[in-house]
Structure 1
Amino acid sequence: MQNTAETGPDAPFDVTPLLDDPHAAYAALREAGPVHRITGTDGGPAWLVTRYDEVRAGLADPRLSLDKRHAKPGGYRGFALPPALDANLLNMDPPDHSRVRRLVAKAFSPGRVAALRGPVRQVADELLDAMAAGTRADLIADYAGPLPIITICALLGVPPRDRRDFRAWSDALITPDLTRPHLMKEAIGAMLEFFTGLIAAKRAEPGDDLLSDLIAVRDDTGPDAATGPDGATTGGGSGAARRDGDRLTEDELTSLAFLILFAGYENTVHLIGNSVLSLLDRPELLGQLRSNPAELPAAVEEFLRHDGPAPLAIRRFPTEDLEIGGVRIPAGESVLLSIAAANRDPGRFPDPDALDPDRDRTGHLALGHGIHHCLGASLARMETVTALDALIGRFPGLRLDVPRDAVRRRRSLRTSGLISLPVTW
């Protein structure tokens, strides 16, 4: 790949190095300059931002819109979700983003997440009980995958019988089989049908779950419609709270349920898997954390910085011509902010390729920055700490069951995670 100064918008772009050896490719790009012209995740040209200062500033810049309506005509080629799944926080700017996020934010407050720690640990122990019946397992399929999907499904109120289907649908979207494009279309259709049916069922028989609370906000019923002493409505149940004038459209309701379930599963499964592999690569650190589990939260922050689940922030579109890193970017063109490159910028993190839980990790961007900071960040952190604590305490002899170079990673610009992680003990 070439620097922006050497490349025009119609030049051929090669992102193969970013798929084959992403951290080495990001390092080379970062060294060459802060902004580059590449082929984006949608197959069209995009501007890739690679240095920490520019990425952090871009994440908080209101001129970089998430709303696809600011893309220039023909400038965005991403796969199209139906409106009922597309009206979500990843495509919104204020004031709609502020309104919708406010309605669900309390469900992910530190207090509510702390209350989930016990149930998450119980699920982790049950999954490990099943693994302990043998002497080997695929840690992604048997542990890192089921734990977050069970957790987020319980939070939303998704019946257990539907969890396996959703994992398959998620995989079809995140790492699509380009030789069988119909699979993605079928997965999108199945998810829309699923969420439409689930919302209808919850509307008929509300439960003690987040989705029922969101439906009450949408329909202006239940405890969330009550007005507090200051004239603002107050929330109850699982945490969806409404202020005067705050409502959800039906598409926003469906899209919000989709996003919470989709993102709550995908990012956490990869964070857990990547973290376990990092520990298996470093037996001394594994032993240290097993003896001192209180150090796990700091280690998870370093795992996030070193090999987080999302290499790129969601694409953005400038609402006006602007300059990033000395490079002029026209309004409406796709901008990709590389979290993976920023988190290993030696200008911000000395010796960035080393995994060091004792380093100053403050300011890493693995979970975003600014108003679009990951809504479920505290839940993802808690689940990962809990998952690692349970796992390494249960299996002191945990080790890889295949040669290190046989561990398979997803080949994707959108996500950094493992396809499988065979282990034994």
Structure 2
Amino acid sequence: MTPEPATESSADAPILAVCPLTGSHPYGMSRVRTPTGDPAWLATGYHLVRDLFNDVRLGRSHPTPDTAARVGAAVFFGGPMGEFETELADQKRMKTVLAPHFSIKRMREFQPRVEAMTSELIDAMLARGNSADLHTALALPLPLLVICELLGVPYEDRDRFRAWTEASGDIHDRDKALQGAAALYEYCTSLTRLKRRTPGEDVMSRLCEVPDLSDDDIAMYGMALLFAGHETSVVQIGVGVLMLLERPGLWQSLHRNPDLVPNAVDELLRACEATSVPRYARTDLEISGIHVAAGEMVLLGLNSANHDPTVFTDPDRVDLARQEGSHVTFGYGTRYCPGAPLARMEMQAAIGQLAARFPSLTLEVDPDAVAKQENVFTGGVTTLPVRW
């Protein structure tokens, strides 16, 4: 049987709230201002953004972080991160240490647990009636359950570390962001000491077995994993379901063609509004004929890259069966997110089971009335009222 068309148009999405300083061109380098008013360069276009992810002349750190341009107050992705002198070595070490715990093989082994957690949450949602807030019923608790089990974090601590991660990602309130990060670090330090005394079968315990990793190293890795390990999935599950329900034809197509789910998840990741990623020039360099001085900010325009018509036919169209190109939402090359297999697995479990069990799922409110997260740089929804 020939699969039904699984496409529908999507609205244009902004790359970043920036204001041009000089004349811009479709793909290349444009001079912009960030939401904090700082000058930066915006790199756009699929091939340029991919190349810059791998360019070692760009990094996350800055030699004088207090004077560096910022995109917001958030500790994570608001401005410089890491030590300038050791960034490249630190990045390589972190990837070497963390990647095995989130490999495709490891995630396949963990998949039955994720599917079971998803099923239990959906069962509970069904038991409460024929409507729910999908954000609080599934999109939020599923990634929290998963990351707690993977890292060995007590699930009863979820409300505390969730509050700290949200605070540390606040784009408007610097004091709140710093306080959230400090509390999260203190928590991860205590957790590290606990795992050294009473190890379990979890990632934090295994990190304690790695030679030459200090408690401070493990606590910092724990912070990164607690934040990135659940926040991205919370956002993408909610946004992905919203995108599908805004286009009922796609939801019905996914219900009738469950084999589309893995491909559909990647298409939703491509089509979503992606935040531009900040980088800093580690030295003077030239990008697309533009001189970039050492220390200047370069924003990697993920949204532009994921909607480049030279790579993606009709890029503003959500095509669940799309086979061309590969999105850069998780980065690229040496800067590819090691947690990508986990995020994909969670999205596939959530969206796949929802589409299978709720063929009549619809929004209870107009799409424009869905509450959005305005204070945290990752965005997403804060409620998602649905009925079936």
TM bracket (short chain): 0.7 to 0.9
Q: What is the alpha-carbon distance in structure 2 between the residues aligned to residue 358 and residue 31 of structure 1?
A: 31
- 2:264 is matched with which residue? 299
Match of 1:282 in 2: 247
Give 1:192 shift: 1.9
Query: How is 1:40-55 mapped onto 2 (pairs within 5 angstroms)?
Result: 40=34, 43-55=37-49
Matched with 1:229 is: none
The CA RMSD over aligned residues, in Å, is 2.8
- Cα distance in 2, alignment partners of residues 89 and 214 from structure 1: 21
Name the structure where strand makes up a greater proportion of residues: 2
CA distance, structure 1, for counterparts of residue 204 and residue 376 of structure 2: 31
* Structure 1 pair 271–285 and aligned structure 2 pair: CA distance change class (3 A): same
The equivalent residue for 1:238 is: none
Equivalent-residue separation in structure 1 for 2:289 and 2:159 (angstroms): 48
How far, CA to CA, are the matches of 2:83 and 2:228 in structure 1? 11
Amino acid at match of 2:163: A
Note the residue ranges of structure 2 that are not aligned, 5 or more in a row. 1-11
Q: What amino acid sits opposite 2:343 in the alignment?
A: A
Secondary structure of 1:355's aligned partner: strand
SS at match of 2:209: helix
For the pair 1:127 / 2:121, whether they are aligned, the reply is yes
8 A Cα contact 2:280 2:295, kept in partner:
yes
With 357-366 and 198-207 compared, the bigger mean Cα shift is at 357-366
State how far apart, in whole Å, the 2-side matches of 1:403 and 1:213 are. 46
With over 3 angstroms needed to count, the CA separation of the structure-2 counterparts of 1:343 and 1:80, relative to structure 1, is closer
Please state whether the residue corresponding to 1:316 is helix, strand or coil.
strand
Contact 1:400 1:424 in 2 (8 A): yes
Name the amino acid aligned to 1:129.
D
Contact 2:107 2:345 in 1 (8 A): yes
Q: TM-score, normalised by structure 2?
A: 0.87
Find the counterpart in structure 2 of residue 63 from structure 1: 57
Say yes or no: does 1:385 pair with 2:377: no
List per-residue Cα deviations over 1:82-131 (Å, max 9, x = no partner): 9xxx9879997432221221112111111110011111111111111221
Q: Which residue in 2 is equivalent to 1:346? A: 309
Distance verdict in 2 for CA 1:87–1:31, change over 3 Å: closer
Q: Shift of residue 54 of structure 1?
A: 1.5
User: What are the residue-to-residue correspondences of 1:88-127 with 2, within 5 Å?
Assistant: 93-127=87-121
For 1:422 and 1:90, the matched residues in 2 are separated by 45
**CA displacement, residues 1-47 of structure 1 (integer Å, 9 cap, x when unaligned):** xxxxxxxxxxxxxxxxxxx9525989x99754522222336652221
Tell me: CA distance 1:38–1:355, structure 2 relative to 1, closer, same or farther (3 Å).
same
The correspondence for 1:212, drawn from 205, 210, 213, is 205
Match of 1:195 in 2: 188
Q: Distance in 2 between matches of 1:415 and 1:80?
A: 10
Task: Verify: 1:255 aligned to 2:250, yes or no.
Answer: no
DSSP-derived class of the 1:347 partner: coil
Q: Which residue of 1 aligns with 2:276?
A: 312
- The Cα of 1:352 is off from its aligned counterpart by 0.9
Moved more, 44-53 or 168-177: 168-177
Provide the C-alpha distance between the structure 2 equivalents of 1:116 and 1:170, rounded to a whole number of angstroms.
24
Distance 1:298 1:398 in 2: 21
Match of 1:8 in 2: none
Equivalent position of 1:170 in the other structure:
165
Q: What residue is the counterpart of 2:14 in the other structure? A: 22
1:75 aligned onto 2:68: yes
The offset of 1:359, in angstroms, is 2.5
Task: Answer yes or no: is 1:419 the counterpart of 2:367.
Answer: no
| Structure 2 counterpart of 1:101, one-letter code | K
CA distance in 1, matches of 2:266, 2:83: 24
Given the alignment of the two structures, is residue 371 of structure 1 paired with residue 334 of structure 2, yes or no? yes
Deviations, residues 366-403 of structure 1 (Å, cap 9, x unaligned): 11001110111111111111111111222222110111
Output the CA distance in 1 between the equivalents of 2:171 and 2:61.
Answer: 23
Aligned length: 369
Q: Distance in 1 between matches of 2:74 and 2:358?
A: 44
Amino acid in the other structure paired with 1:370: G
C-alpha spacing 1:257/1:281, structure 2 compared with 1 (3 Å): same
Deviation at 1:194, TM superposition (A): 1.1
Q: CA offsets, 1:202-248, max 9 Å, x none?
A: 1111111110010121xx4xxxxxxxxxxxxxxxxxxxxxxxxxx32
Partner of residue 37, structure 1:
31
Q: Post-superposition shift, 1:327?
A: 1.7
